[in-house]
Each structure stands twice: as structure tokens, then as C-alpha cells.
Chains A and B, each alone.
Chain A
Amino acid sequence: MTSFALAWRTAKRYRARTLLAIAGVAVIGALLFDMLLLSRGLLLSFADLLDSSGFDIRVVSGEGLAARLPIADSARLADDIRRLPDVEHVLMIRIEPATVLATGKPPRGISLIGSSDAEQSWRIVKGSSLGSPAAAAEACPVLVTRPLAAALGLTPGDSVSINVRPPGVASALPAVACRIFGIADFAFATNDELTAVTTMEAFRQAMGGGQPDADLVLVSSKPGAPPGRALRAIAGLRTSLRAYSNEDVVAQFNRNGFAYFRQISLVLSSLTMVFAFLLVATLLTVSINQRLGEIAALRALGIGRPRIASMLLWESALLVGGGGLLALPLGQLLALVLDRILRQMPGIPERMHFFVFEPRALAIHLVLLMFTAAAAAVYPVWLTARLPIADTLRREVLG
């Protein structure tokens, strides 16, 4: 009989404890799997969000991404960028806090986005885009997020007045009459964000005339352009500006905004590993102590130490492997619950997730569990290896 067959028989004979041990490993394995998904989940999700916007370079003022100050003479900068050979598309964005007033509703504070391109960075869920002929004929066509539409009961065709309130300056800008053309999902909008987007021309009117400078210039490189060449060319246009590739933005996010989750993932992964090791090692040890007579009898029948050790390794592998396999679907379910909890955090874009599956996480999960199974069997193997056969059998008979 092979050592695996012996281990399988033991597992079947002590069914209750085997099932309970597998259940324990499955639950703790699910937590370990989730922590591995969390370790890079937000980062992967953020990178995916950036890539899905269709732009691969972001240009901001010299103060960096966090400050987002207006870029002086941004229209000329955009023209210069457009002329670069590796650049396909350029979009200028300006965001200012504003107040929106709808008929019969109290005023609400919103973020007003001015965009130089009517068709980019959002998905229309109701109504028409800013590029439609009707919108083009309107002085201030506006798209709003679903939370804003719900908060003010807005539908396409409604009129609102919007009052821009630049921060840090005493301002008395007049309100601008606007018409809602659509309700849209914005890639980076949070689930409670009150945002409206309009054309750069309408934004200019809302800012009291003049040419408002963009605070963000989004650039997409031509397909097939050598990586980094457009970025270097843009950075060379004006040394006072900062140009970031999507990878740069993700790296910055990784340094500043992701530390807590990386740390908690590391701490909890380590703890769950230790927990799983203790669980299996204790159960195997207690089980071996109970079966010392049985193992001594197997040794007396001629089954050698290596086969006994191999049997114990298989027992450990059955417990950890069974639990580890169950941990995968259980972990996915648990990840849904934990993700739903964490996404309630203020300021998290609606399309971002904390737990994102990647093959790397699965590979690490399997390697860690294999290591746990092997480590948990070490002490029981040592116990059985130095078991005195005759004494043990004699004690069993007398007992």
C-alpha cells in the first residue's frame, strides 16, 4: 500500500476531524488568498482605470499631480504637443468647484469640469453627448453624474444655473444658464460625487470670459510609437511642467496612497500563514499522539520510516490541499464582501476595486500553502521517526 493510500485511509477513518481541519484551512486560506489579492489589487485596478481612459501621458503644472494648479498658456502648450510626431490626441481639462441651482431645489456644491473634447473620458448612460448637434447649438451644454442627477432630480432637457467658485479667491462670478444633455459615468468619479462636465467654451463663460487655462492635459501617443519618446518630447517643451506616464502615476499612487493596504496585506498574510501552520501542525501532532500504537504496529509490519514520514506528509497535504482548493472559491466570495465594505471609503472611484485577481496571487497562494503543509508535518514526522516500536506496542497492550 502506498503512503498516499495510507494517508487517505486515515483521513476517511477520522472523517469529522479531517472535515473540520479542511474547513479551518479553507477559511484561513480564503483570508490568505484575499490578502494576496489586496496586496496589489488597488494598484492593478488603478492602472486599469488609467489605461482604459485611452490616454497614456498626463501633463500638469510644476506643483505635481496633487496640487493641480492651472497651466499657464495651456492652449499654446496643447498646440505644441499636438505637433509632436508621436502624439495622436490631446485633451485639456479644467476642474473648479461650483454651485448648481435647479428649479425648486436648494443649491448644491459640485465639481465643474471643462473639457476641450466632447467625446472623451465618460460613458453616456442617458441622453446625448456634448458632441451632438443639439448640444453644439447650446451655449452651455452639460453632462452630469448619476449621483448629481439623483440628488437634484435632473433629467436630460432640464435647465440649471451654474456658479463657479474658484477656491482661495474672493469671487463674484455670475451664474451661467446651462441645459442638461445627458447623464454620464465618469471613469474617476466616486459613487457619491456630484460632478458636471461642459465644453471648454462654456467653462470659459462660467469663469467670466477670457481663456481659462487647463490644469490637466491628457495625451495619447500614436499606436506603435516607441514607449517614452512622446513623454520625453513633452517634458522637453516646458521645463516648468511635469509630464507623467500612466506607470509614473501608478508608481506615485503606490508610494503615497497605497501604503496602508500594502502593510495590512503583508501583516495579515503573515498572520494567516502562521495560523494555518499552527492549525495543521497541532492537529497532526495531536492525531499522531493518539495513533502512536497504530504507527508502531505499521513499523513492526515492516513499513519503513520514510514511508511513515511520507504518509504524514500526505496527511498534511490532504488537509492543506483540500482546504486550499476550497479557499479559492470561498476567497472570491469573501473578496466580494470585503471589497464592498472598502469601496464605501470616501473618494474611491466607483470603478476601482481593492481585490483584483491576478495569476501571480494564485501562484503565491499555492506556494505558501505547499510550504505550510510541509512545515506543519515536520514535528509529527520527527515524533514518529524516533518512535521506539517495542516500547510503544507494549504500552499500547498494557494500556
Chain B
Amino acid sequence: MAALALLVLLTVPLSADPPAILVSRQLAARARLAVGDVVTLAVDAGGTRGRQFRITGIYEPTPDPMRFTADRLEARLHLPDVLDLTADPADPASREAVSAINLELAGGAKPNLFASDLMAQAPGIVVRPTARSATDDPFVVLDRFHVAISVVTMVAGTAFLLALMVIRAEERRETVGILRLVGISRRTLLASVAIEGLVVAAIGAAFGILLAYVSEGLVNRVFQARYDTALVFVRVTPSIALRAIVVAAPLGILAGIGASWTLLRREVLTIFHR
């Protein structure tokens, strides 16, 4: 990659057949470029070694979460054109230099092993697998951070649910006493509050998933507009939805049982303050 100055051609006579380039959507918007326009690229703003190119396409840069705050003012050229433009005329070897080479290994080859072999054979070059390891991937750390935040939110949600279930249990104190008097067992009543807790938690989780699903588009649109990127910031996947329900359901059951336990374990007459 090279940093080049872009000079939009206005009065300079056109080359016979300028080479083709692609420009990023952001660059096209910023410089008001369209397909078919001819532009001059140079190594500096003074127009040093400037060459003309014809824009044959406008592309959306691959979203990169590591660079989502960066202005993606980019152009894609054929490698010989970049070398023509950037190579130092006084240094013939500079036409042989590239900043990176991407490799696709044959099936079964181990990237780390290949990297260490190549570095041993060609001192001075750095070979890195494109897949990040858990130790140098910032998104693994962010994932842990989000899980921690989820746990805290879940604890607060459980306290909330428990408080609601306690109020519900107090509300039904006399009803529970009457049900006990007519012969309905503690186990049946406990099962009923567990089911109630489960239903409340499941409906809450489903509503939360629905809210997340509905707000997903809004959040993405706001941040995509804010950072001028096609990056997807929020995505509610089936596995996330399932995880939310799987976590919420047992918490709901526990909250229901926990809130009613003090009421149900009492002797029936004490429920009526006798």
C-alpha cells in the first residue's frame, strides 16, 4: 500500500488510454468522482510523477472493525501501475519491493509452522498467519468484556424479578392459604409459582430479543452513518437469542420458587395469622 495524492484532472490534456483504477465509495463521495472520470494520482500534493487514470468502478471497502473510525479514502490500482508511480527512479531495486504478499496455503499446511520455516529461510521478513490467536485478538477481549457486562445485567435482572415475585407472593398470601386449606399440596403450589416465574422470564426474554431485533437495524444505521462504513455493529443471531432464553428460564423458576418459599413452608394457619 502507498499513500498517494489524488488530483482531480481538470485542464490537463488526457492520455490516450489511461489505466483503470477503482476508488472507494468514500473517496468518490469526498472528491465527487464518478465512473468514467479521469484523475491524476501523484506521490505528493505537488503532483510529482503524476499519472492519469480512468475510474472504472467504485467499490465498498471491506469493513474492518479495527479501522472503523478511519476515513477509507482508497483507490485500487494494478500492481505495475503502483510501482510505476511510487518506485524511486534512482533505485532500480525499488521496483522489486512490495510491502506485503498474501499467500493461500495448500490444504493441511499449518500456518504457524509455515511462517516460522519461511522466516528462518528468509531472514528479515515477517510472516504472520492472518488468523489471530486468542492472545493477540482484541475482539476476544471485547467478547469477554461483553460477557461480564451481561452477567452484571443478569444479576440486576434477577434481583428485579425476585422483588416482583415477592410482591406477587405477598399479594396472594390469603389465596395460597385457602388453596392449602382445600387440600392442594405445597408441591403443586410450588410447581405453579415455578411455572409462573418461568413464563414471566420467558416472556421477558422473548420481549428483550424482539426489542433487540427491532433496534438492531436502527443501531446499525446510526453507527454506519456516524462512521461512514458498511460494518455491522449489532447482529442478533439465533444462538444469542437461544442463549438469552436458556439463561432466563432457570433464573425465572428460581425467582418464583425463592419468592414463594417462605410463604409455602409455613403451617397453613400461620398464613392467616392464627
Contact = CB atoms under 8 A, between A and B. Distances in A.
B212 to A, nearest CB: 11
Interface stretch (B22-30, B31-39, B102-110, B150-158): B150-158
B18 to A, nearest CB: 28
A392 interface: no
B163 A20 contact: yes
Nearest to B174: A399
Given A165-B124, A168-B97, A170-B124, A27 B69 contact: no
B141 A282 contact: no
A362 interface: no
Interface stretch (A179-187, A198-206, A241-249, A336-344): A336-344
Contacts of A256: 69-70
A341 B142 CA distance: 8
Contact of A282 (B68, B70, B126, B164): B164
A301 interface: no
A346 B160 contact: no
A23 B138 CA distance: 33
Contact of B160 (A24, A165, A257): A24
Interface in B152-173: 152-153, 155-157, 159-160, 162-164, 166-167, 170-171
A198 B3 CA distance: 32
A16 B166 contact: yes
Contacts of B160: 20-21, 24, 279, 282-283
B171 A290 contact: yes
A137 B268 CA distance: 92
Contact of B167 (A30, A290, A342): A290
Given A21-B163, A338-B148, A344 B141 contact: yes
A287 interface: yes
B154 to A, nearest CB: 9
Contacts of A260: 68-69
A259 B231 CA distance: 15
A27 B156 contact: yes
A286 B156 contact: no
A17 B69 contact: no
A345 B145 CA distance: 10
B17 interface: no
Nearest to A334: B152
Contacts of A23: 159
B223 A263 contact: yes
A268 interface: yes
A31 interface: yes
Contact of A24 (B69, B137, B141, B159): B159
A31 B162 contact: no
Contacts of B270: none
A346 B138 contact: yes
Interface in A282-320: 282-283, 286-287, 290
Interface in A329-374: 334, 337-338, 341-342, 344-347
Interface in A3-44: 14, 16-17, 20-21, 23-24, 27-28, 30-31
Contact of B69 (A259, A279, A290): A259
A275 interface: yes
A20 B166 contact: yes
B53 to A, nearest CB: 24
Contacts of A21: 159-160, 163
Nearest to A18: B163
B167 A287 contact: yes
B138 to A, nearest CB: 5
A171 interface: yes
A342 B141 contact: yes
B144 A341 contact: yes
Given A27-B159, A168-B99, A170-B124, A338 B69 contact: no
Given A17-B167, A338-B148, 6 more contacts: A17-B170, A268-B149, A282-B164, A283-B167, A344-B141, A346-B136
18 contacts: A17-B163, A17-B170, A24-B157, A24-B163, A27-B159, A28-B156, A31-B153, A31-B156, A169-B97, A256-B70, A259-B69, A283-B167, A286-B167, A290-B170, A341-B141, A342-B145, A344-B144, A345-B138
- List the 8 closest A-B pairs by CB distance, nearest first: A24-B159, A20-B163, A27-B156, A28-B156, A23-B159, A345-B141, A346-B136, A24-B160
